Amino acid sequence: MSDASALDETTRDVLAKVLGKTPSGLHILIAGDGQGKTTGMLASWVQQASFEPPAVTVAVNKKRYINDWLAQHPRVVLNLIGEKQNEFLKQFGKGFEPDEPAFEGIDTGTSPNGLPTLKGALGFMEGTVKDKLEAGDHYIYLVELTGAGTEDEETLIAAAPWTHIRKNGFSY
């Protein structure tokens, strides 16, 4: 595996700019520990990976404790965030400690797999982690989707998802 720091300075600078302009949607990834605790985190690297079965990939920084939870209890919910839904970014952007309440002040529902959903999000997808790949400083999870929901299908169809673009492809 090559290291981006091994690139010459000019190439690295251009790569950082191009990679940063690669768009991705914003989601709130929700997971549980299997013992009743749940948490959520902002996930900007979510991508459809398969039509049949329907699946997405989700990247999670190796430093996040949620990786341990996903190993113990591989069910997740991904809430799709609409353009400029700042309340979700403010709530989930900083991350949470394992015992810190992630959903305080946020209106939630419950998905069929028992995890919280975020009312007001464009919609949610639920699924099960089927595989994990080590990718540098992140893990990439393959999530087979088992269900979805939305409060308002017309809003989902008409609304724009929040598209995330970074200034630098080597940092958040």
pTM equals: 0.90
**CA 163 – CA 55 distance, rounded (Å):** 20
Total number of residues shown for the chain:
172
**Domains of the chain with bracketed CATH:** 25-163 (2.30.110.10)
pLDDT at 52 over 70: yes
pLDDT for 62-100, tens place per residue?
Answer: 999 999 999 999 999 999 999 978 899 999 998 899 999
Share of the chain above pLDDT 70, in %: 97
| Cβ neighbours of 153 (radius 10 Å) | 10
pLDDT at 2 over 60: no
Which carries the bigger pLDDT value, residue 16 or residue 70?
Answer: 70
pLDDT at 1 over 50: no
pLDDT at 154 over 70: yes
Token pair in block for residue 81? 């965030």
